[in-house]
Amino acid sequence: MDLTSVFRAEYGRCVATLTRLLGDIGLAEEAVQDAFAVALEKWSETGPPRNPGAWIVTTARNRATDRLRRESTREARHAQALLLQAPDEPEEVGPVRDDQLRLIFTCCHPALSPLAQTALTLRLLGGLEVPEIARAYVVPEATISQRIVRAKKKIRDAGIPYRVPGEAELPDRLPPVLTVLYLIFNEGYTATTGPLLRTDLSAEAVRLARALAELMPDEPEVLGLLALLLLIEARRPARVGPDGELVTLAEQDRTLWNRELIAEGHDLVRRCLRRDRPGPYQIQAAINAVHTYGTETDWAQVLTLYDQLLVLTPTPIVALNRAVAVAEVHGPAAALAAIEELDIPGYHLLPATRADLLARLDRPDEAREAYDEAVALAGNDTERAFLRDRLAHLAR
């Protein structure tokens, strides 16, 4: 395992653990970054240890202790005392027992703006870089950088504590928490750059979604999110071909899908339906349940569900996804008309969808232009190769 893989797999866990020990998010992040810098030097000679995450946490804690000893402020001495006493302290008891889930709720404090909440959490927990977060929100990188810096300053200046939320506080913190888990999973399922999949991120999002469902089993949107992630994750084995190429849903070998995850996801969707409190994640889960039921997708049912989702979440991306179902039910001309007025700057799937619809309408010149635009915007190597292949076939 190389250092980059360890960073991706362990960064969020290490920051969460150090935050619990230090009681300060900024110090925790600095300590973990210092530990990885030490690892870069030492592991090149000795190789990675048997438990890289534990090594990083121990090293980060030692580095933090050394740093605090050099400080002379009262706050630094207090933090050092907490750090040195941590092993002898009992484990904190409360509704949130998972360090990472606890840190997610802490970052999603209502004193922070919604974008700051999720951007900071994605950076700390998911280990996502600023370009990856900016892609998730389809906003400029500078905007995300500023929000993260301001969020850390707000936490420090306002004295927002790292603590377990009380039972009464959990529902108010829930929407951004769900958003964070969804975005972490998405980055794992379709990475911003490099290879298509980052299984470490998608697996961690599923694990945290399971923990959240155990914590809040009566919240339909929590169950809906878990169902959605499981049903999408179930298709992952068929999403990449033998040569690493992207395989679309229509072309996937359904025998490769994980039937255990599908069964679990379907069961969660049924539980949501019985509660009769529909929300965006539940509807998305229902859409994916339709995709994973039987041997063919019932596109009319998918379109009906997207109509409901668009009412609850009237965003351009939902409208774009709905257009895929419109094309299957009413044809590519109707779908093209549905997306003509959409504006999603920097989002490569908009011109990619236009290109596919134009190609199906036998408008190759316009399709080529749209494919060129999509290729230029795509950051993922696998998606870019897929779009170039479609463009090459169009030119024949």
The pLDDT value recorded for residue 279 is 97
Distance of alpha carbon 364 from alpha carbon 390, whole angstroms = 11
Given CA atoms 124, 126, 129, 133 in this order, what sign does their dihedral have? negative
| pLDDT at residue 358, rounded to an integer | 97
* Mean model confidence pLDDT for the chain: 88
Domain limit, last residue, from 30, 54, 89 = 89
Tell me the β-bridge partners of 240: 246
> Number of folded domains in the chain?
2
Q: Residues 103, 162: contact at Cβ < 8 Å?
A: yes
Q: Answer whether residue 261 is part of any domain.
A: no
Residue 327 placed within a domain: yes
Is the pLDDT score of 90 beyond 50? no
- Please indicate, yes or no, if residue 364 is contained in any of the structural domains: yes
Domain assignment of residue 320, yes or no = yes
DSSP symbol at 279? -
Look at the block and give the residue holding tokens 């094309």: 327
In the chain, % of residues over pLDDT 90: 53
Considering 89, 113, 143, which residue would you say is the last residue of a domain?
A: 89
Report, as an integer, the average pLDDT of 213-217: 89
- Please report, for the domain that includes residue 369, its CATH number: 1.25.40.10
The reported pLDDT for the residue numbered 89 is 38
Q: From 221, 211, 212, 206, select the one nearest 275 (Cα to Cα).
A: 221
Are 118 and 183 in contact by the 8 Å Cβ rule? The answer is yes
Task: Give the chain's largest Cα–Cα span.
Answer: 72
Residue 131: predicted pLDDT: 85
Q: Which of 15, 3, 393, 331 is nearest to 204 (CA)?
A: 15
Higher pLDDT, 78 or 258: 258
Q: Give the pLDDT confidence score for residue 395 in this predicted structure.
A: 63
If we measure between CA atoms, which residue out of 303, 270, 274 comes closest to residue 289?
A: 270
Specify the higher pLDDT residue, 29 or 69. Answer: 29
Domain boundary among 52, 70, 89: 89
Give the pLDDT confidence of 39-77 residue by residue, as tens digits: 999 998 888 898 998 999 999 988 888 877 777 565 555
Give the pLDDT confidence score for residue 260 in this predicted structure: 97
DSSP string, 59-80: HHHHHHHHHHHH--SHHHHHHH
Please state the pTM of the whole predicted model: 0.84
Mean local confidence (pLDDT), 335-361: 96
Tell me whether residue 301 is in a domain.
no
Domain interval for residue 331: 311-396
The answer to whether position 342 is within a domain reads yes
User: What pLDDT shows up at residue 158?
Assistant: 81
Q: What separation in angstroms does the CA of 315 have from each of 12, 158, 319, 344?
A: 30, 33, 6, 10
pLDDT band for 81, please (50, 70, 90 cuts): low
Instruction: Flag whether 349 is in a domain.
Output: yes
Q: What is the pLDDT of residue 287?
A: 98
| End-to-end Cα, the chain, rounded Å | 43
Whether residue 155 is contained in a domain is answered as: no
